[in-house]
Amino acid sequence: MPWSMKSSSRVFRGCRILVGFLFLASAWVLPAQQTYNEPWRPQFHFTPPKNFMNDPNGLVFYKGEYHLFYQYNPQGTEWGHMSWGHAVSRDMLHWKNLPLAIAEVPGQYMIYSGSAVVDWHNASGLCATADSGDSSCLIAVYTAAGANIQRQHLAFSNDRGRTWKEYAGNPIADLKQPDFRDPKVFWYEVQKKWVMVAVLADERKAVFFDSRDLRNWTFRSSFAIESNDKGQWECPDLFRLPVDGDSRNKKWVLIVNRNPGAPAGGTGTRYFVGSFDGAHFVNETPAGGELWADYGKDFYATNSFSDLPEKDGRRIWIGWISNWQYANREPTAIWRGAQSLPRELGLAQFPDGIRLVQKPIAEAKALRERAFLELSNVSVPMAIEAMHVANVRGEALEIEAEFSGEAKEIGFRLRKGGNEETLLGFTPENKEVFVDRTRSGLVSFAPEFSGRYKAILRQNSRLRLHAFLDRSSLEVFVNDGELVLTDRIYPSPGSDEIELYSDRGTGKVHSLSIWKLGSTWH
């Protein structure tokens, strides 16, 4: 869902960012064949062809296609007129843009966030049975957001998501509240029923419903925590995962996206680990412990795929790479907003409890065009020299590295050029891994943008990094996904050098591999 509608029609002021607009202006006159090659346009993350995008919606796999719906303004580059944009893919990386899926009803309601499922056996009675005997169809459940009321609506598609019809009996769920939104629907096999989790956003409360037919829903329970915090819960999700891959030991994970209140400031993704009986979620996370899925500044409004094939066995989600502190002011032209790499989720047992772990989907390896270098068991000075000889540079890279040693700080200078650089570093003494974008390029468009964002490791003897650098984003998976940091950056054209650094050249590089990644759009 949406931005909380409070806000921010501030415009760019001052000559500090004039230079950014000068070279951005060139994007408006690029030849048609160069679309998706504008300044800062991600080359392997999904972005809309034009206009504003935020939350991923309705992620679902159906008949060989991954569907990505998303919050979309078809009329401009700031939040408004929210509708569902649509794209499909065969691998979750190469996306084909499709026409608008579900549009706002002007003067009545906008289309806020929600989910999509496959109604395999026509439980809804809305699927048109084909000559082949296939009685399945796609069902979308989303928030119809009016001026002072938010209700849950249903739409259905009998042509693989290409066109949608609104259910005549809408709304399907109505608590007569102004902040009741973001329904996530899934099949609960134990009781052979559908479950919906939504939120009362301003009350920071998750609410649970169930249904046999996707059209008639019964309220079952709510979940909240003791807290004096302000802000909202948005975009909930609920799924079950094995702990350390053990199918006999599974836990439920309740996701609530928080606006504001995240560790890095502004928006972020929080989660709870516990149990679910089809009606009630019980939190088993010790009181006072806040669990966050990402410690960067830009990961929000997550949504996980429904109906992945059983043989696949993965839980995969996507998040919006931005922050409501400045989402309407990001300095891109034509388009605004990006989605994360799809990530595979798991649970792992650590000394302090069960925690969510994430890793890029295996399909991402297909993005590798060529290896710049591959090193093992060398000193930092040797690795620095090898990177220099290999002339490692680029706008779209994948980096895998493992460090240890007595260095006060060790890491990478990314997208370096002139006075610009984004630091991805590790300080063993403080057990911190961090992204510092203070001098990453254009930062003056919003006072909340510049900063150093960190996460605390459980140990400091050894660090494994797996980073994906795109033209305007950085996603870092730390120690096999134990921690993740996601951040937007806006470096100048030509700032594409990559350097390894360490104070006094100390430390050991156990392994280092860097690949140039190809574009999924060209």
Q: Do 91 and 237 fall within a single domain?
A: yes
Q: Do 316 and 423 fall within a single domain?
A: no
CATH number of the domain bearing residue 370: 2.60.120.560
Structural domain containing residue 427 = 362-517
Beta strand pairing status for 335-336 and 51-62? Answer: parallel
pLDDT value at position 17?
Answer: 37
Q: Do 328 and 421 fall within a single domain?
A: no
Contacts of 520 (CB under 8 A, 6+ apart): 43, 44, 93, 94, 95, 367
Please indicate, yes or no, if residue 6 is contained in any of the structural domains: no
Q: How far apart are CA 73 and CA 79, in angstroms?
A: 6
Number of domains in the chain: 2
Q: Do 332 and 380 fall within a single domain?
A: no
Q: Do 214 and 319 fall within a single domain?
A: yes
Please indicate, yes or no, if residue 10 is contained in any of the structural domains: no
Q: Do 249 and 159 fall within a single domain?
A: yes
Q: Do 230 and 136 fall within a single domain?
A: yes
- The DSSP H or E segment spanning 205 is strand 205-211
Structure tokens at 38: 């504008």
Structure tokens at 151: 């209700």
Q: Do 432 and 513 fall within a single domain?
A: yes
Please indicate, yes or no, if residue 225 is contained in any of the structural domains: yes
Q: Do 176 and 261 fall within a single domain?
A: yes
pLDDT value at position 2?
Answer: 47
pLDDT value at position 504?
Answer: 76
Q: Do 265 and 179 fall within a single domain?
A: yes
Q: Mark whether 182 is an active-site residue.
A: no
Tokens 């700080």, residue? 409
Q: How far apart are CA 240 and CA 209, in angstroms?
A: 17
Please indicate, yes or no, if residue 40 is contained in any of the structural domains: yes
Q: How far apart are CA 178 and CA 200, in angstroms?
A: 8
Which whole-number Å values give the CA distances from 6 to 37, 114, 324, 328, in the listed order? 33, 21, 10, 12
Final residue of a structural domain among 360, 390, 411:
360
Q: Do 148 and 220 fall within a single domain?
A: yes
Please indicate, yes or no, if residue 522 is contained in any of the structural domains: no
Peptide bond into 493 cis (omega under 30): no
One digit per residue, the tens of pLDDT, for the chain of length 522 reads 544 433 333 333 333 333 343 333 333 333 433 589 999 999 999 999 999 999 999 999 999 999 999 999 999 999 999 999 999 999 999 999 999 999 999 999 999 999 999 999 999 999 997 666 789 999 999 999 999 999 999 999 999 999 999 999 999 999 999 999 999 999 999 999 999 999 999 999 999 999 999 999 999 999 999 887 789 999 999 999 999 999 999 999 999 999 999 999 999 999 999 999 999 999 998 877 899 999 999 999 999 999 999 999 999 999 999 999 999 999 998 999 999 999 999 999 999 999 999 999 999 999 999 999 999 999 999 999 999 999 999 999 999 999 987 889 999 999 999 999 999 999 999 999 999 999 999 999 999 999 999 999 998 888 999 999 999 999 999 999 999 999 999 999 999 999 999 987 788 999 999 999 999 998
Please indicate, yes or no, if residue 7 is contained in any of the structural domains: no
pLDDT value at position 356?
Answer: 98
Final residue of a structural domain among 309, 325, 360:
360
pLDDT value at position 1?
Answer: 52
pLDDT value at position 34?
Answer: 52
Q: How far apart are CA 368 and CA 398, in angstroms?
A: 8
What amino acid is encoded at 354 in this protein? I
CATH number of the domain bearing residue 330: 2.115.10.20
pLDDT value at position 4?
Answer: 43
Final residue of a structural domain among 336, 360, 384:
360
pLDDT value at position 24?
Answer: 39
Please indicate, yes or no, if residue 159 is contained in any of the structural domains: yes
Neighbours of 174 (CB within 10 A): 15
Q: Do 297 and 402 fall within a single domain?
A: no
Please indicate, yes or no, if residue 163 is contained in any of the structural domains: yes
